[in-house]
Amino acid sequence: MLGYIVRFLGNSIALYGATYFLAPGFQVQGNFKEYLLAGALLGLLNMTLRPVLKLVLTPLIMLSLGLFIIVINALMLWIVDYAFTFVHIADLTVLVWATIIVGIVNVIIAGFSKIID
């Protein structure tokens, strides 16, 4: 249970990092509550929808040597942008860079959450 909380907080931190590095194009307008809400939705999508998409799209992932996972992660961020009005992603380039930043932070957080569990 504590590992899931760490992942949700990690997603919030990842969104803050994306906002910090991509400030004009990627914005989460608000304070800590909005980051927590967006991070919780992103974590929920990563736990439920992402494994299903990875299973269904395994041939494309294999053909692209794993690079199609970036497209799946970008889709998760785009859903968060679509669901909340306080999350704004300007264009596709910003979405790809935000996906890379969130992905790197999530890899680090996943390592910590495995240590905790």
Tell me: the pLDDT tens digits for 1-59? 777 888 889 999 999 999 999 988 999 998 999 999 999 999 999 989 999 999 999 99
Question: What are the residue boundaries of the structural domains of the chain, listed by start?
Answer: 2-116
Looking up tokens 């590095």 gives 21
What are the distances in angstroms from CA 78 to CA 2, 45, 114, 115? 27, 11, 27, 30
Reported as a pLDDT band with limits 50, 70 and 90, residue 61 is very high
Looking up tokens 């927590």 gives 36
Contact at 8 Å (CB) between 69 and 61?
Answer: yes
Closest CA to 89 of 26, 1, 33: 26
pLDDT score at 117: 64
pLDDT score at 90: 93
pLDDT score at 66: 92
Judged by DSSP in three states, 67 sits in coil
Contact at 8 Å (CB) between 109 and 6?
Answer: yes
